[in-house]
Amino acid sequence: MQITIKFIPHDQQRYATVGDWLHNPIDGDITILVSNMTDLRSMYAVAVHELLEAAACHVNGVSQQAVDDWDINGGGMLSDDPGALPDCPYHREHMAAEEAERAFCRVTDLIWDKHEENINGQG
């Protein structure tokens, strides 16, 4: 199994997000895609979030298809933070990933409001 993190131009994301993950169920590989931003700390923070979320979903049996269906075609498409909605199929995994993202921001002296500004600047 391999885990790959790629920093890419924002317009190369599959949909309107700064962080995405792809899980290959055959070999277990996980690819994390993070939009380029002006602040490297935000890029790493999003990567931390996506890694924890992808790994937790994999271990807990939440498929990428269920996540994609929610984010791209389901109830999540009505929110700018689809994983935070209580009826989201990966809500628990997303919220744990946000805690890790916030911890990374704290340890790198990135104020959360500034992190959100960095993220919103890519949308």
SS3 16: coil
Residues of the chain with pLDDT under 70: 122-123
According to the model, what pLDDT value does residue 123 have? 43
Specify the number of domains making up the chain. 1
Q: Which domain holds residue 95?
A: 3-120
According to the model, what pLDDT value does residue 122 have? 66
Which spans in the chain are helix H?
Answer: 40-60, 64-68, 91-107, 112-120
Q: What is the pLDDT of residues 60-76, one digit of tens each?
A: 999 999 999 998 887 77
According to the model, what pLDDT value does residue 55 have? 96
Measure the CA–CA gap between 74 and 8, rounded to whole angstroms. 25
Contact residues for 33 (Cβ-Cβ < 8 A; gap 6+): 6, 8, 12, 13, 14, 19, 20, 21, 22, 50
